[in-house]
Amino acid sequence: MDFQIRPAQQTDLPRIRAWAVQESWNPGRYDLEVYWRQNSLLVGWLGDQPVGCISAAAYDADFGFLGCYLVDHRHRGHGYGRFLWEKAIASLPARCIGLEGAVALQDTYLRHGFVKSCLHVRHQLQSGNGDPVASLLQAIHAIPFEQVLDYDTRHFVGMRSQFLQHWLGSPEMQGWGFVQADQLLGYGLIRPADMGYRIGPLFADRAEVAQQLLAALLQIPPPDQPVYMDVPKSNEQANQLMKNVQAIPLFSNCRMYKGEFPELPLDEIYGVTTLEMG
């Protein structure tokens, strides 16, 4: 049978989601719809059967991100993953490209020209943990989008206006911004996932701002729900915050880049948006 790679259709999303759940990625309930609206998802077909996928998100002219890279376990070992990889890389020419890889696969990505940036550790928290000071918090959807975008751009490699609009507008997405003297000093979002909830992003100028935002986010789900958050290992204050709320570290992934990329304020990044899209 002929192997072909085509842009994902909305009807492909349930299958991709099932693959992600099978791999224990615990996707957000509506994450794939956002990725699809970003025009980033590719699906590999063997005849009339989908066998794998990858996302290649072109955020702007200078930066792209690879994710959602998997092949149905029944079709592994035949080179379909390599074809998907090559197609995704070719779709992001002349860009710095980022990805989030399993630590065990670092050497594979190194051979493709990627270099290690930092580790992210997934933590499991529990909803209802914390008591925020509400006076400086505003619901994220009440804050002007341009103000949120400006703050977000300071903490991400590229400008992601379209993605952020879709991310904020995703069903059941909720969040808070920390506003003082009309200045946004941090923001965080939380969404339902296959299991429990996921936080991302959580950006903050200072540790006490991150603490307030995290406490407020943990009040959003019903009590005693698992909440998951991917935290940069190099941010010592973020690690201390995880200890303070008795979060449980689960596993690590490695952020890698190919090409030149700007330095990010990692001490202000407490939780990444999503491992699949950066």
- Is residue 263's pLDDT more than 90? no
How far is CA 33 from each of CA 142, 169, 264, 275, rounded to the nearest angstrom?
Answer: 23, 11, 27, 16
- CATH of residue 128's domain is 3.40.630.90
- Is residue 1's pLDDT more than 70? no
CA 209 to chain centre: 21
Percentage above 90 pLDDT, the chain: 90
- Is residue 201 a contact partner of residue 271, using CB atoms and an 8 Å limit? yes
Q: What is the pTM of this model?
A: 0.95
Co-location of 152 and 229 in the same domain? yes
- Is residue 120 a contact partner of residue 199, using CB atoms and an 8 Å limit? no
| Lowest mean pLDDT across 121-130, 170-179, 269-278 | 121-130
Determine the average pLDDT of the residues in 59-78: 94
CA–CA gap between residue 276 and residue 278 (Å, rounded)? 6
Co-location of 185 and 260 in the same domain? yes
Co-location of 155 and 267 in the same domain? yes
Co-location of 28 and 64 in the same domain? yes
- Is residue 277's pLDDT more than 70? yes
- Is residue 112 a contact partner of residue 161, using CB atoms and an 8 Å limit? no
Taking each helix axis as running N to C, give the angle between helix 207-217 and helix 236-244, from 0 to 180 degrees, rounded to the nearest 10.
Answer: 40
Co-location of 95 and 223 in the same domain? no
- Is residue 109 a contact partner of residue 56, using CB atoms and an 8 Å limit? no
| Nearest CA-CA partner of 188 in 166, 168, 208, 217 | 217
- Residues contacting 131, CB < 8 A, separation 6+: 215
- Is residue 177's pLDDT more than 70? yes
| Nearest CA-CA partner of 27 in 11, 9, 15 | 15
At residue 135, the pLDDT reads: 81
Question: Mean pLDDT for the chain?
Answer: 95
- Is residue 218's pLDDT more than 90? yes
Domain around 159: 122-271
At residue 133, the pLDDT reads: 61
How far is CA 227 from each of CA 36, 92, 147, 248, rounded to the nearest angstrom?
Answer: 24, 33, 27, 10
